Amino acid sequence: MFDQLSRPLDYAEQLLVRFAALARSRDNRELQQGLAEAAGALSGSALSQLYLLDVTHTQLNLTAQWRDGRSCSRDGGTLSSDYRDQQLLQYCLTQNRPLHIDDLHGSLYQTDFLPADAGQWRCLTCLPLQDGEQHVSGLLLLAGRAGQAFQAYEESLQLLGNFTLQQLQLLQHNQPASPPLPAVTPSTALARSYGLIGESTAMQRVYQLIGKVLHNPVTVLITGETGTGKELVARAIHDYGSRRSENFVVQNCAALPEHLLESELFGYRRGAFTGADRDYAGLIASADGGTLFLDEIGDMPLSLQAKLLRFLQESEVRPLGSNQTRRVDVRIITATHQDLQSMVSKGLFREDLYYRLTPFPIRLPPLRERGEDIALLALRFADEACRFLHRSPCRWGEGTLQQLSSYSFPGNVRELKGMIARALLLCEDNLLLPEHFNLPADNGPATGMNLRDRLELVERNLLLDCLQRNQGNQTSAAQELGLPRRTLLYRMQRLNISPADLRTRERHHVQPGQ
């Protein structure tokens, strides 16, 4: 083993050699394995592993392993692990702090990420690695069977690991652009939906934005019409981000009058006002280390906006009736259905607070812009309502889902969910029909849709019906419609028609008389 203390020149020379070798690498796999080999050789550890976060930052994958002086197979990726269940790995990632354990025998933490067939592991070091944007994107892990101390290699190996991640980024940027993916792919939606429902192009854009801020403490403003699910998106950012092990605290700014909202957020000391018979920490202090979600931020009084602005600038909170401040680490996510920029121009919202809240806005699309998501949401809400009512799964009558998809839903997802619950109470024999949904009398397209949107909706339903009759056979469907197959494929792509739409119809379509 290279002794960093007694032979600093030898170790420094070896470290430079490793840096130079990694700089010459032009392949992702070569870079990853080269780092694992360098870490093992430089530290003398029996095991070195490199873990990297995926693009959604929800999955931690073992990408390279060096054990007992040789490269080890990853067994086709079967060693991938969700770090939600690995407390040691999660600690290093979320806290961005190295971890050293000198005696694993006395540790109560799970270490099943270590190979089970390599003898008794005694010591462990885990180092967080950062990419070129200073985001924690991976881990370098060292383990030994004897009582070794890897702390002396912490700084140098972190530098080597950070350099490797930056090289990986450069390789990805220099690669030729990949062909565009289809607008809707079920596998992509499932992998990156963060627990939300929707496969439309509009929701795919939302998922991409969520992925950008999971491990970045930037303040997020979620905008959208009432009922679009703004709190669900805020909770997804918390639950899949680096603060998911801490509190997620919610406060609706329109739910309380000004004096109560101030004491609820900032807390108070006993005797601060009439009725304050005890100390109260407040929601901001309760969210220390976690996330505070302020819904309907546009309804916050102007005088309280000034106090919130100071907190955002100083990260300090002072309870009512106290002269002392407390420093807290809280991520702020806000939401509103109002146009804050217009409110600023009218003097109804502070301009300085507006710019503090809007470094990263996420707009949620209304349900009328989400196309096929209406059917997906309807199916999910119906299943949930049936389970709540202890009823067998419902069936969908001819044309019911199509008529739902053509409605504008001014109340968005909240309106759809309530409509499903009401329809289940009205229907007979668990069969949902159009008359159970209280839709407009003409059952036509939404009045908020323009002519092109209406025509595309009619065409989409026509193509889906034809494909369903032909069991998904595109050639037969094109012949029936009198179109070249290439034209049919083009129209399907333009109208966001995917195989999942056909499977959904086949599962829930009920022929008359069934």
Q: Residue 83: what pLDDT?
A: 58
pLDDT digits (tens, 9 = 90+) for 30-57: 899 999 999 999 998 989 999 998 766 6
Q: Is 157 exposed, middle or buried (0-12, 13-18, 19+ CB in 10 A)?
A: buried
Strands 70-71 and 60-67: antiparallel
Q: For 202-283, list the strands marked E by DSSP.
A: 220-223, 248-252
Angle between helices 230-239 and 201-213 (to 10 degrees): 40
- Nearest by Cα to 229 from 204, 197, 188, 200: 197
Q: Residue 440: what pLDDT?
A: 66
Full-prediction pTM beyond 0.75?
A: no
Q: Residue 405: what pLDDT?
A: 86
Q: Residue 192: what pLDDT?
A: 58
pLDDT < 50: residue spans in the chain: 1-7, 75-81, 177-191, 442-447, 508-514
Q: Residue 73: what pLDDT?
A: 60
Tell me the two tokens of residue 498.
């995917």
For residue 508, give Cα distances in angstroms to 83, 221, 380, 397, 428. Answer: 37, 37, 12, 8, 16
What does 248-281 look like in DSSP terms, one character per residue? EEEEETTSS-HHHHHHHHH-B-TTSSTT--S-B-
Q: Residue 354: what pLDDT?
A: 94
In angstroms, the CA 461 to CA 456 distance is 9
Q: Residue 297: what pLDDT?
A: 95
In angstroms, the CA 224 to CA 337 distance is 5
Radius of gyration of the CA atoms of the chain, in A: 28
Q: Residue 75: what pLDDT?
A: 44
Helix (H, G, I), strand (E, B) or coil at 205: helix
In angstroms, the CA 431 to CA 16 distance is 72
How crowded is residue 306: how many other Cβ atoms within 10 Å of its Cβ?
12
In angstroms, the CA 251 to CA 265 distance is 8
Q: Residue 174: what pLDDT?
A: 62
Tell me the two tokens of residue 505.
């119809």
Name all domains of the chain by residue range, CATH numbers in brackets. Answer: 8-174 (3.30.450.40), 186-365 (3.40.50.300), 369-508 (1.10.8.60)
Q: Residue 94: what pLDDT?
A: 73
Tell me the two tokens of residue 315.
């990260």
